[in-house]
Every structure is written in structure tokens, then in C-alpha cells.
């Protein structure tokens, strides 16, 4: 079978800000930028175009596209390739066979794209003949991950071999800064982009632009990283996006509500109520007590949570307490394991305005003192100090697990 694809008008399909990178042949192409800039979309396009060009030259590509975990790559990279192939009307099985379970794309000439997660090392290490690698959200990865992938791309190939890295620049403490900005590799192209470099965003998702610009009034560091695509500059204080309010709204005010429960014994057991209105979160401290056994916790929650809400409002519980979760469900509550990803959860909570009830005395103390750790050189690390953070953990559980992770905002499209 012979297939020829006309690429003469490809410039019309490529974001002009990225178009010159189609011809970039350096071993490392590093795309740093904010959300909504279109960098991921362009990378997928470049990989496909290189494969299509190989139809004419005889070059057979094997491209490995990775994120930290398999679920994250399925939701993003794999889905993105399917979308572009569909948009370009190239989903014919005679042209490309797509294996959904393995997340692979096998083209008629033998080229293939393999999507995977670094949490599946056995699958990745078995792949040979790699001619290209895409490390998406590589700030989630380690320097060792990068070095292993770099060594995996070897051998003779008629065209150039390239590793593409894409990320949001959370901190200069990331290995990426030292590896590419401090060392200045001769075989690396560094590129910067923001949503302002993406002309399609204003046409298809203007609300997302409003979302990105709103970060300016919520958290300056978040605005630098995710809107401007600049290196983050952490301050010691974690939350600056909160306000202590005198009059906590009536529960009819909220679109949805949930609870977060952080469990301790010598340390306090903390229960927080969280209500959401217009994508802003209202938080109230309900419990902050030590020496709480499981029986005492269940008894106390029975006093604090009205019977009518026990089967309709979820309690997100410290995931280290599976037995308590079972006991709560047997006692008539709806309890679920929380996602305890501290860094991701904190970053999600920093995206929205938080309103704290003035009578939540312990919460007001905690959130005001909640800080990032410093190293011996006085540099702020992206690592919260795990002291007196019980209610901060408790409200993070439902905000991130319930609204942030399980039910992300429909208007947000990260490309």
C-alpha cells in the first residue's frame, strides 16, 4: 500500500509561535511555559508530521510519549493524539491502528507512537529502537528518569533523534533549571510560551483566559508559573488566597458541600466543612480534638453532621485510615479515601479564593502559619512543613479529591 500525505499547507494548522520548531533538530527541545499556550498540542503535531514525512523518506519512527503515571498519560497525551488524528481525518484503520488498552498508534509503514507512564518501568524498558521521546509534564519526573530515557534513545537512524520536554516552571529548584538553564547545553533548544502565544484560545475558550488572569489576584507565584510561564519564586507562606469572614453563609448558599477528616490521636483529629459557591470555597472548622478513638470520632461526627446530610455529603478521610472509613460507612455515613497528594492538592487549593469562618480559631492559626520548608541555605522548598497542619489537610482533602481531581472544572483545557 502506498500512502502520500500533502504537507504543503501544514503551516495553516500550526501555531505560528511554534512553527519554526518543526525544523529544530537538536537532541533536546525544551518547552517551558504557562498553561493554555498550546505547547502540548504543537508537540503532538510535530511528532505526527515527522512520522508522515517518513512515509516519503522511508524513515520509520518509534516515539515514546511519557508522563509520570499511566492514568495521567491516558487522560492527556493519548487523548491528544486521537483528537488531532480525528481533526485531520486520519483515523482510517488502513492508515493507523490504535490499541486503546496499550495506548499505541501503529502506522501503515511500521512507525509507531507508544504512550506510557513511568509507573510501568517493565513496559518502558522493553521498548527498543526509540527514535524520539516526549516527556510531558516532566517537572513531575526526576533527573534519574530523564537520564534513563536519554540513554534509551541510541543507535543509528537516517533522521535526527530528539527528546522533547514540556513543563510548567514551578521552581528553579527543579532539576530542569540546573540541567538546561545553568549548564546551557549546545544541543538543546529552549523555548518559552504563554496563553498569549495561542491565538486559538481566545476563539475557543475565552473563559479559560479569564481563569488564567484571575490568578494574579489569588496567588502571585501561581500567576508567574501558570499564566506567565516564568520560574516560580516560592515564599515561605503557602496560602495567601484566603480571607477570614465574619458572617459564614447559610448552607443553602452553597452549590455543593463535603467534609474532610484528618485523623490523629496524640495529634488532633480535625474535621472541616467545605462549601463551594462560584468556584470559591468556604471553610469551617467543626472538630479539633486529641485522644480520639474511632468510636469517639464516629460518635462526635454523629453530633456534628445532621442526619439528613449523612447519606448525601461525602466525608473525605485520611487515606491512612482504611478501617475508620469502613466503620464510618457501616455507621451510616458516606466516607471515602482522600487523595493525599500534598503538593498537587495545595496547588489546586491555591487556585481559588478561600473564605475562612472567623470562629474557626484553630484553622485561622494553622493557615496563617502554614509554611514551606527552607533548606540549610535558606532556600524555600516546595515542601510544606508538617507541623500543625491538621485542619489544612482536612480542608484540602475534599477540595482536591472531590472538586479538583474527581470533578475538574469543565472550562479548563490544558494543552
Burial class (CB in 10 A: 0-12, 13-18, 19+), 183: exposed
Instruction: Please indicate whether the domains covering 15-199 and 242-405 agree at the CATH topology level.
Output: no
pLDDT at 381: 83
Helix (H, G, I), strand (E, B) or coil at 223: helix
Distance (Å, whole) CA 327 – CA 322: 9
pLDDT at 202: 87
**Record: fold of 15-199:** Rossmann fold (3.40.50)
Output the DSSP codes for 358-382. TT-HHHHHHHHH-BEEE-TTSPEEE
Helix (H, G, I), strand (E, B) or coil at 266: coil
Please write down the long-range contacts of 85-88, taking CB distance under 8 Å and 24 or more positions apart.
85/48, 88/13, 88/48
pLDDT at 214: 87
pLDDT at 374: 78
292: number of Cβ within 10 Å: 20
Identify the architecture of domain 242-405 in CATH. 2-Layer Sandwich (3.30)
Answer whether 51's CB lies under 8 Å from 107's CB. yes
Q: DSSP E strands: which ranges in 68-178? A: 96-99, 104-107, 112-117, 132-136, 162-167
pLDDT at 274: 98
Burial class (CB in 10 A: 0-12, 13-18, 19+), 169: buried
Averaged over successive runs of 10 residues, the pLDDT of the chain (415 residues) comes to: 69 93 97 96 97 90 92 91 94 93 94 92 81 94 91 90 94 89 94 96 90 83 89 83 92 94 93 96 95 95 93 93 96 94 92 92 88 81 85 97 64 32
Ranges of each domain in the chain: 15-199, 242-405
The position carrying cell 497528594 is: 341
pLDDT at 2: 60
**String of b and e for 2-13 (b: at least 16 CB within 10 Å)?**
eeeeeeeebeee
Instruction: Provide the grid cell at 235.
Output: 515564599
The position carrying cell 483529629 is: 269
pLDDT at 375: 78
Write the DSSP symbol of residue 404.
I
Distance (Å, whole) CA 316 – CA 360: 19
pLDDT at 38: 96
**String of b and e for 119-156 (b: at least 16 CB within 10 Å)?**
eeeeebeeeeebbbbbbbbbbbbeeebbeebeeebeee
Amino acid at each position: 500500500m502506498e500512502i502520500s500525505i500533502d504537507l504543503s499547507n501544514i503551516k495553516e494548522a500550526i501555531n505560528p509561535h511554534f512553527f519554526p520548531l518543526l525544523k529544530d533538530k537538536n537532541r533536546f527541545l525544551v518547552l517551558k511555559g504557562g498553561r493554555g499556550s498550546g505547547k502540548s498540542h504543537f508537540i503532538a503535531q510535530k511528532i505526527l508530521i515527522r512520522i508522515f514525512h517518513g512515509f516519503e523518506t522511508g524513515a520509520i519512527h518509534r516515539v515514546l510519549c511519557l508522563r509520570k503515571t499511566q492514568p495521567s498519560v491516558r487522560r492527556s497525551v493519548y487523548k491528544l493524539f486521537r483528537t488531532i488524528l480525528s481533526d485531520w481525518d486520519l483515523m482510517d484503520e488502513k492508515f493507523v491502528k490504535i490499541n486503546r488498552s496499550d495506548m499505541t498508534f501503529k502506522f501503515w509503514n511500521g512507525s509507531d507512537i507508544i504512550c506510557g507512564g513511568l509507573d510501568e518501568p517493565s513496559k518502558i524498558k522493553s521498548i527498543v529502537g526509540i527514535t524520539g521521546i516526549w516527556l510531558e509534564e516532566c517537572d513531575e519526573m526526576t533527573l534519574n528518569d530523564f537520564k534513563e530515557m536519554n540513554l534509551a534513545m541510541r543507535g543509528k537512524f537516517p533522521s535526527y533523534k530528539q527528546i522533547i520536554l514540556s513543563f510548567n516552571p514551578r521552581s528553579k529548584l527543579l532539576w530542569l533549571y540546573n540541567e538546561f538553564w545553568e549548564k546551557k547545553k549546545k544541543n538543546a533548544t529552549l523555548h518559552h510560551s504563554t496563553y498569549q502565544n495561542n491565538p486559538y484560545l481566545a476563539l475557543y475558550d475565552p473563559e479559560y483566559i479569564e481563569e488564567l488572569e484571575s490568578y494574579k489576584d489569588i496567588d502571585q507565584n501561581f500567576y508567574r508559573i501558570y499564566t506567565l510561564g516564568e520560574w516560580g519564586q516560592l515564599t515561605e507562606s503557602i496560602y495567601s488566597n484566603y480571607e477570614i469572614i465574619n458572617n459564614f453563609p447559610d448552607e443553602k448558599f452553597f452549590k455543593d458541600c463535603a467534609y474532610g477528616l484528618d485523623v490523629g490521636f496524640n495529634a488532633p483529629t480535625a474535621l472541616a466543612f467545605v462549601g463551594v459557591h462560584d468556584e470559591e470555597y468556604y471553610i469551617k472548622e467543626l472538630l479539633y480534638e486529641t485522644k480520639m478513638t474511632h468510636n469517639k470520632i464516629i460518635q462526635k461526627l454523629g453530633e456534628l453532621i445532621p442526619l439528613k446530610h449523612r447519606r448525601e455529603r461525602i466525608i473525605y478521610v485520611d487515606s491512612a485510615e482504611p478501617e475508620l472509613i469502613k466503620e464510618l460507612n457501616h455507621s451510616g455515613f458516606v466516607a471515602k479515601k482522600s487523595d493525599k497528594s500534598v503538593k498537587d492538592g495545595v496547588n489546586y487549593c491555591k487556585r481559588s479564593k478561600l473564605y475562612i469562618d472567623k470562629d474557626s480559631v484553630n484553622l485561622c492559626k494553622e493557615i496563617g502559619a502554614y509554611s514551606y520548608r527552607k533548606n540549610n541555605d535558606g532556600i524555600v522548598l516546595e515542601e510544606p512543613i508538617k507541623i500543625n497542619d491538621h485542619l489544612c489537610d482536612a480542608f484540602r482533602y475534599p477540595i482536591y479529591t472531590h472538586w479538583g481531581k474527581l470533578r475538574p472544572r469543565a472550562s479548563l483545557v490544558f494543552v
